[in-house]
Amino acid sequence: MKYVDEFRQHKLAKQLAAAIRDEVDTGRSYHLMEFCGGHTHAIFRYGVQDLMPGNVRFIHGPGCPVCVLPVGRIDNAIHLVEAEDVILCTYGDLLRVPASGRNSLIKVKAAGGDVRMVYSTQDALNIARENPDRQVVFLAIGFETTTPPSAVALQQARREGLKNFSLFCNHVLTPAAIQNILESPEVREIGSVAIHGFFGPSHVSSVIGSRPYEFFAEEFQRPVVIAGFEPLDVMQSVLMLIRQLNQGRYEVENEYTRVVTREGNQKAQRLVAEVFELRRSFEWRGLGLVPYSALKIKADYQEYDAEQRFQIPVSPAKEVKGCECPAILRGAKRPTDCKLFGVVCTPDNPMGSCMVSSEGACAAYWSYGRFRQPEAKSASTEVAI
């Protein structure tokens, strides 16, 4: 398969593993955070961690849009179904994420609520066209990658004069979350979480480009390498990060040049800017309130804003007792540090979002059986790809 198999070649993997072993300084540690859940799954699926020297450790970050949505926003979506009698459209992963009181959207659906799984904003628009007598709300989540389709949907709804379609906006922004992590007490003051470099997200960077990360590299003295999702992408990015750290450089480098440019997709950026604007603050699961980390619908489009159309109460929400998803999303703990992992929390019976989402760290540990294996092996480990 062209453009996929080329990035999974055994011979090149062996060469990269050897190059990484040659470059690491055995007297120091390299703690590298993959912000994106896609990288986490690539690392586990292809056994990349097993190819690393023992002093190279991957830290799993909050780059899963389903995982970072706070419980309160899911409660809000449930309120729309139960109290406002709307047709709620959303992506499949969100259906099983626990809300307050062990409730969830799929339980609401089972009880008769009109919750519908869709694959795109266009599906939600079609449902609105087919049900002109019902209000249809699209529960929009995701990073910069999924924001342009939401903007297109709102523009399309306005052009068609759809009066029964609105969007419950939960789109969040990557750069603000990275800054929040680097400014957190666990990283800057307590030092309990060591992060020496970042893998820049792939899909997000295809939209925003690599330039927004330049601030972090310079201000926080952390190198960033935009990495693709294939195993050789990840390994090459590890090598680039290690070289920067060894040379005392803190720059933004782009390994994913076949997709990402410094400026990004400017057409998509303009589209988003026409419809959305920054929120002053937004809650992230695991990170708390993060300033200027999310988008809201501009006043010009407020008739399509579910938060303007409906009365959505603000109510306190609590995580499932014992669930360590918040600490896992901050990189402070691993899935196996959670007492619920694999005991009462499994993909069939998830207690937290990290086990539900296909990009969640707990789902990655479970899917590829990493919790059954020892931690990272020594530098002499044979290539497993």
| Torsion sign (Cα): 302, 303, 307, 310 | positive
CA distances (Å), origin 186, targets 29, 44, 183, 313, 331: 17, 25, 8, 32, 9
Which is nearest to 97 in space by CA: 111, 114, 76? Answer: 76
Coil, strand or helix at 87: strand
User: What whole-number distance in Å separates Cα of residue 49 and Cα of residue 14?
Assistant: 13
Torsion of CA 116, 119, 125, 129, to 10 degrees: -60
| Buried-exposed string 234-272: b where 16+ CB fall within 10 A, e elsewhere | bbbbbbbbbbbbeeeebebbbbbeeebbeebbeebbebb
φ and ψ at residue 179, rounded to 5 degrees:
-65, -40
Pairing of strands 87-90, 115-117: parallel
**Bridge partners, residue 137, by sequence:** 88, 166
- What 8-state DSSP symbol labels residue 373? S
11: left (phi over 0), alpha (psi -120 to 50) or beta: alpha
pLDDT at residue number 202: 92
pLDDT at 277: 98
HEC readout, the chain? CCCCHHHCCHHHHHHHHHHHHHHCCCCCCEEEEEEEHHHHHHHHHCCHHHHCCCCEEEEEEEECHHHHCCHHHHHHHHHHHHHHCCEEEECHHHHHCCCHHHCCHHHHHHCCCCEEECCCHHHHHHHHHHCCCCCEEEEEEECCCCHHHHHHHHHHHHHHCCCCEEEEEEEECHHHHHHHHHHCHHHHCCCCCCCCEEEECHHHHHHHCCHHHHHHHHHCCCCEEECCCCHHHHHHHHHHHHHHHHHCCCCEEECCCCCCCCCCCHHHHHHHHHHEEECCEEEECCCEEEECCEEEECHHHHHHEHHHHCCCCCCCCCCCCCCCHHHHHCCCCCHHHCCCECCCEECCECCCHHHHCCCCHHHHHHHCCHHHCCCCCCCCCCCCC
Are 169 and 140 in contact by the 8 Å Cβ rule? The answer is yes
**Axis crossing angle, helix 231-247 with helix 10-23, rounded to the nearest 10:** 20
The per-residue pLDDT for 376 is: 44
Q: pTM (2 decimals)?
A: 0.89
Write out the chain's pLDDT in tens, 385 residues: 567 888 889 899 999 999 999 999 999 999 999 988 899 999 999 999 999 999 999 998 888 889 999 999 999 999 999 999 999 999 998 999 999 988 999 999 999 999 999 999 999 999 999 999 999 999 999 999 999 999 999 999 999 999 999 999 999 999 988 888 888 877 766 556 789 999 999 999 999 999 999 988 999 999 999 999 999 999 999 999 999 999 999 999 999 999 999 999 999 999 999 999 999 999 998 888 999 999 999 999 999 999 999 999 887 777 788 999 988 988 888 899 999 999 999 998 899 889 988 889 999 989 887 665 544 444 333 334 4
pLDDT for 190: 54
**What's residue 101's pLDDT?**
87
